[in-house]
């Protein structure tokens, strides 16, 4: 009788243990496919900035080409390389409170009081 009770207890405990194994969280066997898809997306994103970088490098910024008379010169160019008009035949003599400044091989005549551009000459 004792053996029969042990056998019943053992079979009931085995069935309970088996049920808990089935209720345990399942591993995702589709993970390698997902990882491969994600890797492809990341590779595509890495390729795009390289194309955009190549396009932006072709265009060089020449701010003095876009400046016009009457505009205020940006502060980083106000104390630029001052030019003596006597050394260059195409530069006129600046009046009072005026100064020639060389920016990107262009010559800009500015008013030193209000920092407005008076004239630009392409260099």
**DSSP string over 50-116:** HHHHHHHHHS---HHHH--TTSBPPHHHHTSEE--GGG-TTSPPP-TTEEEEEETTEEEEEETTT-B
Low-confidence ranges of the chain (pLDDT < 70): 16-64
For domain 69-121, the question of CATH label 3.10.450.160 is answered with yes
Using the structure block, give the residue that is written with the tokens 């008379």. Answer: 69
pLDDT of residue 45: 56
| The predicted structure's pLDDT at residue 75 | 83
- What span, in angstroms and rounded, lies between the C-alpha atoms of 117 and 86? 20
Q: Which of 104, 99, 105, 96 lies closest to 119, judged by CA?
A: 99
Task: Give residue 116's pLDDT.
Answer: 93
- Other beta carbons within 10 angstroms of residue 111's beta carbon come to 17
pLDDT for position 111 = 92
């Amino acid at each position: 009788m004792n053996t029969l009770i042990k056998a019943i207890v053992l079979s009931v405990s085995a069935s309970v243990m088996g049920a808990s194994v089935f209720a345990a969280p399942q591993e995702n066997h589709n993970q390698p496919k997902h990882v491969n898809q994600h890797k492809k997306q990341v590779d595509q994103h890495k390729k795009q900035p390289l194309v955009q970088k190549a396009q932006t490098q072709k265009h060089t910024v020449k701010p003095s080409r876009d400046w016009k008379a009457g505009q205020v010169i940006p502060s980083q160019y106000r104390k630029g390389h001052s030019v003596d008009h006597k050394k260059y035949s195409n530069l006129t003599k600046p009046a009072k409170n005026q100064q020639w400044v060389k920016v990107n091989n262009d010559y800009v005549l500015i008013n030193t009081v209000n920092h407005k551009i008076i004239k630009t000459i392409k260099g």
